[in-house]
Structure 1
Amino acid sequence: MFGPSPDNPTPLPGIDQLIFLKNFITRPDIEVGDFTYYDDEDDAAAFERRNVLYHYDFVGDKLIIGKFCSLAKDCTFLMNGANHTFTAFSTFPFAIFQNGWGDGDVMQLKSQSRGDTVVGNDVWIGMAATIMPGVTIGDGAIIGAHCVVAKDVAPYSIVVGNPAREVRKRFEADIVATLLKTKWWDWPIEKITRNLEAITNGDLDGMRNAV
C-alpha cells in the first residue's frame, strides 16, 4: 500500500468535504499538484468558482499550487483581474464596457498585472486567509488564519496578520536548505511511503539518506 490515489476526488471514505483539489479543476490557467487538498463542508467542489476570484481569461495570469498543500475553508486567491489602474485620473475600467467607452482593449488592465500567483509544495494555508495577486509562497510555509498575504513568503516561514508578517522560521537555516534540496514531495510515492517516519518525525539524517 502506498497511500491514497491522488486521482481519488474524495480520499476519506464517507467524507466529501475534503477533496483532492486537482480533480475538480477545469480551467487551464489553474494548476494544482497531487495530494493537495481543500476542506470545506459547504461546497468544497466549488473551489474554482468560490475561492479563486477576479480570474479573467483576458488578463492571462495563472494560479499554480504545488503538491501536498493543505487548504482550509474559505481561503481565497484574488487574481490580477481585481487590480485597477491608479495612475489615471479614474480607477474605473471604462474600456472593458465598450459601447463608446473603448474598444474592449484591456492592455491598461494587463499593465497592472503582478504576474502569476504561485504556492509552493507542502504549504498550509489557514482558514479565511486571502492571497493577493502575484504573490509567491515558498515551499513548507504556513499561512495563518485570516491572513492577508500581500507580498512573497519565504520557504518554511510562518506568517500571520493583516498585512501578513513573518513571525518566525519553522526550522534553522541548515534544515531548510536540506529540505529544499531533497524536495521530498517530488519523490516517487513508494519512496515517500518508505520514508514517512523520517518526514513526519523530523529525522534530518533519515531525509538525507532516504532511498
Structure 2
Amino acid sequence: MTARDDCLLAAGEDGEFALLNLRTSFHAYITTNDHIVRNIDLGTMNVLATFPAEWFANYASQSPDKHMICVVGDHNDAKVFSVNSREQIATLVGHKLYSFACAWSPDGRLVATGSDDMTVLMYDTRRMDEPLFMLMNDIHSSVRSLRFSDDGRFLYLGEDTDCVKIVDASSDYTKGQSIEFIGDVTGIAVASPGAEGLFIGTSGKPFSSLLEFERSTTSDDDYQDDPFWP
C-alpha cells in the first residue's frame, strides 16, 4: 500500500489492486418539482444519490454529521432520510401548511422547519415523532429561510418579505431581534466559521440587493428582550 498527494494505492496477493482518489469535492442537494431530491457532486456534476419525496420538494438540509437529510416541500409533513441507506427514517409532523425551510443545529441535536403557517417547529433528533416546541408569535408571513449560527447560539429566521428575525437560542428562545427592510427575502447565509457575518438576499424593484450584517460584540444585556418569544 502507498499513498501520495491525492491517491491511495493498495494491492492484494492475487494480483489485484485498488486505486482511490482522496480528493473530495463539494456536494449539493438539489430539490425540484419532480418529487426527487438529488445529491450532486459539484466537481463532476454526477448524481450520487436520489431520495424520493413523493411531493414537490422545496428545500433539503444535511445534518452536521452528514448521516441524515431533512426534506420539506408541498406537504404539511417533512421527511428525514438516511444518507447511507437512502431510506426514510422519520416523518416530522405538526405544520398545517407547506414548508420551505429547514436547518440543523451545529451539534445535530435539533432540526428546525419553517412553514407557510407562519410557525417554526423544533424537533429533538433523538425523538422526532413530535415537535419539541414551536415558535409562532410575531411571525407575520411565511417562513422561507432558516439558519443556525456556527456556534448554535442564534437561529436566523427569514420571513417571506421585509423581515429577518434573530432568536437567541442560549436564552431558551426568549430574546430576539428583528432586522426590517423593504423586499422579498430570497435567502439567508451565515459566514464561514470564526466570522460574524450574516448575509440576506432581497428581491423586488428597486430594492434587489445583498445585505451584510455583522454580529455585535456587546453584552447580553444589550440584546432586545422581545416579549413575543415563548
TM-score scaled by structure 2?
0.33
Q: Higher helix fraction: Structure 1 or Structure 2?
A: 1
Larger Rg: 2
TM-score scaled by structure 1?
0.35
Higher relative contact order (CA 8 A, sep 6+): 1
Q: Higher strand fraction: Structure 1 or Structure 2?
A: 2
